[in-house]
Chain A
Amino acid sequence: MITRRFFANGADRRVFITIGLLLGAAIVVPILNIALPPDSAFHVPSYMVALVGKYLCFALLALALDLVWGYCGILSLGHGAFFALGGYAMGMYLMRQIGDRGVYGNPILPDFMVFLNWKELPWFWYGFDQFWFAAIMVMLVPGLLAFVFGWFAFRSRVTGVYLSIITQAMTYALLLAFFRNDMGFGGNNGLTDFKDILGFNVQANTTRSAIFAASAVALALGVFITWAIINSKYGKLLIAVRDAESRTRFIGWRPENVKLFAFTVSAVMAGIAGALYVPQVGIINPGEFAPANSIEVVIWTAVGGRGTIVGPIVGALLVNAGKSWFTGVLPEYWLFALGGLFIATTLFLPRGVIGMWDHWMATHRERKAAALPPSAGAPAAPTPQQREWQASATGGAPEPQPAE
């Protein structure tokens, strides 16, 4: 019964294959990196582990955006802010792990504070020497910001372009704030020069592999949670709010609460992605708040296919792999390519790669079904299979409304 529910239709099957692949990668990739000698054909080089680990964090960020944009129609142009806040929380933990090994050798104060002549730790740095505390903050800070921001925005019935603009303003304001030295987050330079995480050297191959595995597991968990949310009654409500907000209001639901929940969950997911990203790249600075970063996340999601669970992951991996390749070959043209990609996606692939694939498969099957003799086909009631085709032809790849 349960397995039947799990494998009820194609989209669900794809979600579970994705989770399986991610969990498999979490085990296999570290083994191939650590246990095999570097000259083996199956050896995964360390730079590759770090690179793909970074992409997995981006994929989790894109999935978080998809939950609000693809399923609820909230085009957030500020999701990079939640990612960066999660990253800063992790960065603060890593800074405090440096201890007296910094340039100035101060056991309590990070280097930049000594440099600025600060005498004691600001109150908001308390507790970050503990991993559990930092782990809670990674989720709490982005979640709280999203909750407060969303509470005001959704209650005032700010929607469409206006909402997109204020999310963009939010991340820009944070960018400016974090650039300031007196904010106490390292200003321009951000937080870097990390040494240990949980007592292990962040630079070590084993640690890097472990963080890769953690990223893959976190993404798998994110996929599962998103899937569970989307398939609940609440998930249906989320889509209902996207398609006909006033209708939900006139049957007694409060769309602002529906949106607020999704927005908060999404921000927490983005924060976790940021926290896993920082130890892999070894730095967090205010540049992560840049509006352009948040817009890039929108592009990943659009390319992969918004309103699907696997789409944003595929999009984030494809675009970032493309970016790594492109910036190696033709560095000065990457931004043009990215812009062109977004325009091309909007014009020719409005449903993204995954949505297009579904659409293509559905028409292919329909053509096949139409070719069958009439006695075999056309039962009165649609079979679950047919329902799934219908769903994937229209509902499964919904046409998100343009921002009103």
Chain B
Amino acid sequence: MSKSGTILYLDGVSVSFDGFRAINNLSLVLDRGEMRAIIGPNGAGKTTMMDIVTGKTKPDSGEVYFNGEIDLTRHDEADIAMMGIGRKFQKPTVFESHTVEDNLMLSLKGPRSIFPALFHRKTADEARRIDDILGIIRLGDKRHMLGANLSHGQKQWLEIGMLLAQDPKLLLVDEPVAGMTDAETEETARLLKDIAKTHSVVVVEHDMHFVRELGVKVTCLHEGSVLSEGTLDFVSADDRVVEVYLGR
């Protein structure tokens, strides 16, 4: 399989924790500009896969390449984030004692060393970027609210906004609609589809209605490796998928 033209390339990746194989010979390829939904029962290794891509966990074996050329196993979280991989956590994580605007300001692409941050003055360009993102994530009227005072769904959007502020090439989005109302879920699907026009996106999600709404290729993980891959209709018609979801 050729790495060129791919944004994310995992081949034969395995990792175990205390003898438990969380990821088992996993291979997954994402093309540039593609959006992919990843489903799978609890413990299938979805979050561990994201940990490996973002440098939080080092794989025991296998290849992990970003953009066809960068070996991600050699870099740490901050490096990988700077290369252009943004990650949204399963539990929405924003800076609760900062305003929505400051949350985005801290995430904006730019130098990441201490002294420039000490003497930083907000530029007109940055203000414009923040306004743009606030428009995209539909939080324009909440810009002065503290992160802690946002609703669950708004925190999810703010976190997605923080990823966008980094101007990443690839977004990893872990359970973006967990705990959202139906209306919020629809809005989020629209938001992610918008983002996918200009970015590569990996979405991990349990909610099948949401995955259907996204209308993209689906990969089903089970026990740390790929069980089935294709359209949602194809995957959900697969007997093995039905089996792992419903049990024997």
Contact = CB atoms under 8 A, between A and B. Distances in A.
A252 to B, nearest CB: 4
A253 B112 contact: yes
A391 B120 CA distance: 22
A395 B97 contact: yes
A257 B113 CA distance: 8
B113 to A, nearest CB: 7
B164 to A, nearest CB: 11
Contact of A236 (B98, B112, B119, B148): B98
Given A232-B117, A395-B148, A250 B112 contact: no
A61 B54 CA distance: 40
B118 A391 contact: no
Interface in B146-177: 146, 148-149, 162-163, 165-166
Interface residues of B, number: 36
A254 interface: yes
A232 B97 contact: no
Contacts of A135: none
B141 interface: yes
B98 A390 contact: no
B241 interface: no
A237 B98 CA distance: 10
A174 interface: no
A365 interface: no
Interface of A: 229, 232-234, 236-237, 239-240, 243-244, 246-254, 257-258, 261, 380-382, 387, 390-391, 394-395, 398
25 contacts: A229-B118, A232-B117, A233-B118, A234-B120, A236-B98, A236-B102, A236-B105, A237-B106, A239-B98, A240-B106, A243-B95, A243-B96, A246-B77, A247-B89, A250-B54, A251-B166, A252-B81, A253-B78, A253-B112, A258-B114, A380-B141, A387-B144, A394-B149, A395-B97, A395-B98
Cβ-closest 9 pairs across A and B: A252-B81, A233-B120, A234-B117, A395-B97, A240-B95, A252-B82, A234-B118, A249-B77, A247-B93
